[in-house]
């Protein structure tokens, strides 16, 4: 039996990894005969989000909502209404802590099966750890828990590990003209682009960008650090010299395709969409062995926290054609395996039907 599913995502509103992951999941399910809709709740009332339009462009019916608090009875009522409209057999699949909380109420009101995906944990502060503890207590009440990687599933004996997915061909077609993008950034043919794409926060290693830039200037005269993203550490990154700041972007395919190598100095990861996307546009990625970067085959990794070796490895990927070819062959092969859309959709359907 193929059950209809309502994906509920509550997030700040930017085009982060969780939003891109849910977009790909909905598209994969639609392509494989599943009725999938999205209930998207942003926290920012002032800045329009590019995400609903991206879902709609993939043929995903979208229900929009805005709420910036955890206690949002009207959001629960709207989520319940959308869930009931899908029918008695509908599954509610939540993403994000607020969606999890509201989803428990909506599932209780409708009797729907409730599945929640854990995309990763942030553990920088005591507040982060308390948030994780609160989420874990809520997760004990859902029907099934999905994790994007084994490291995210730690502590959940019954969690189902279902990696993120990507329609690689579609993503690569959206890349556009690489050289035109680079010219738009003010870069010449001789420049070598070392790209950081992600949230400018400590868990993503954004505080390491100054050290990365200093090392890059030492070992590569042609190296240019390009930073795409926003976040709490944004002002400090913007104050750095000789860094091309792109800000929040709605075109990750074009940004990634214009790079020579992607840098991921993260302290924690689940299974980053950026790693799948870089492989799709044939750009190598170098990072630390955290989360899915350690064992997915999507990244060249160096010892955790060693920024100098991170930069040195990235420079070698640019200069050594044979090393670059091996890295790209590995990431391309990995992308065609467990991350395939049909495999992803089938795994989720098994969980929805209680077969997994």
- H/E stretch holding 220: none
Task: Return the exposure string of 306-345: e unless at least 16 CB atoms fall within 10 Å of the residue's CB, then b.
Answer: ebeebbbbbbbbbeeeeebeebbebbeebbeebbbbeebb
Strand order in the sheet with 160-161: 62-66, 36-42, 5-11, 91-95, 113-118, 144-147, 160-161
- Residue pLDDT, tens place only, 300-346: 999 999 999 999 999 999 999 999 999 999 999 999 888 999 999 99
Q: Tokens 């039907």 identify what position?
A: 353
If you write DSSP's letter for every residue of 94-114 in order, what string do you get?
EESHHHHHHHHHHHHHHT-EE
Q: Let me know: does 4 contact 91? Beta carbons within 8 Å.
A: yes
Task: Return the exposure string of 135-166: e unless at least 16 CB atoms fall within 10 Å of the residue's CB, then b.
Answer: beebbeebebbbbbbbbbbeebeebbbbbbbb
SS3 37: strand
**What's the average model confidence in pLDDT over 11-39?**
96
In the chain, what are the domains? 5-165+340-352 (3.40.50.2000), 174-335 (3.40.50.2000)
Q: Who contacts 43 (Cβ-Cβ below 8 Å, separation ≥6)?
A: 10, 11, 12, 13, 66, 67, 68
CA dist., res. 15 & res. 345, Å (int): 22
pLDDT band, very low/low/confident/very high, at 41 (cuts 50, 70, 90): very high
- Residue pLDDT, tens place only, 153-196: 988 888 999 999 999 999 999 999 999 999 999 999 899 999 99
1 pLDDT exceeds 70?
no
User: What's 298's DSSP letter?
Assistant: S
């Amino acid at each position: 039996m193929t059950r209809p599913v309502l994906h509920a995502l509550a997030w700040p509103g930017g085009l982060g990894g969780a939003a891109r992951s849910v977009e790909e999941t909905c598209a994969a399910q639609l392509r494989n005969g599943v009725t999938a809709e999205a209930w998207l709740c942003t926290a920012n009332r002032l800045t329009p989000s590019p995400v609903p339009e991206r879902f709609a462009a993939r043929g995903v019916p979208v229900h929009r909502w805005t709420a910036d608090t955890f206690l949002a009875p009207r959001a629960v009522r709207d989520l319940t209404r959308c869930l009931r409209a899908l029918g008695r057999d509908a599954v509610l699949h939540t993403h994000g802590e607020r969606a999890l909380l509201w989803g428990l109420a909506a599932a209780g009101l409708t009797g729907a099966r409730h599945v929640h995906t854990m995309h990763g944990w942030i553990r920088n502060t005591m507040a982060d750890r308390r948030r994780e503890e609160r989420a874990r207590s809520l997760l004990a009440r859902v029907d099934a828990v999905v994790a994007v990687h084994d490291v995210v599933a730690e502590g959940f004996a019954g969690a189902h590990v279902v990696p993120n997915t990507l329609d690689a061909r579609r993503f690569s077609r959206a890349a556009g003209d690489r050289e035109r993008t680079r010219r738009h950034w003010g870069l010449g043919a001789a420049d070598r682009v070392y790209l950081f794409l992600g949230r400018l926060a400590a868990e993503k290693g954004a505080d390491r960008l100054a050290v990365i830039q200093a090392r890059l200037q030492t070992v590569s005269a042609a190296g240019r650090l390009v930073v795409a993203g926003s976040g709490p550490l944004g002002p400090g990154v913007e104050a750095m010299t000789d860094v091309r700041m792109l800000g929040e972007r709605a075109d990750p395919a074009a940004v990634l395709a214009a790079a020579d190598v992607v840098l991921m100095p993260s302290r924690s990861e689940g299974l980053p969409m950026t790693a799948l996307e870089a492989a799709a546009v044939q750009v190598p990625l170098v990072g630390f062995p955290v989360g899915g970067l350690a064992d997915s085959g999507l990244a060249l990794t160096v010892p955790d926290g060693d920024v100098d070796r991170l930069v040195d490895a990235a420079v070698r990927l640019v200069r050594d054609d044979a090393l670059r070819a091996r890295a790209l062959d590995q990431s391309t092969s990995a992308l065609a395996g467990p991350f395939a859309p049909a495999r992803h959709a089938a795994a989720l359907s098994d969980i929805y039907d209680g077969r997994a």
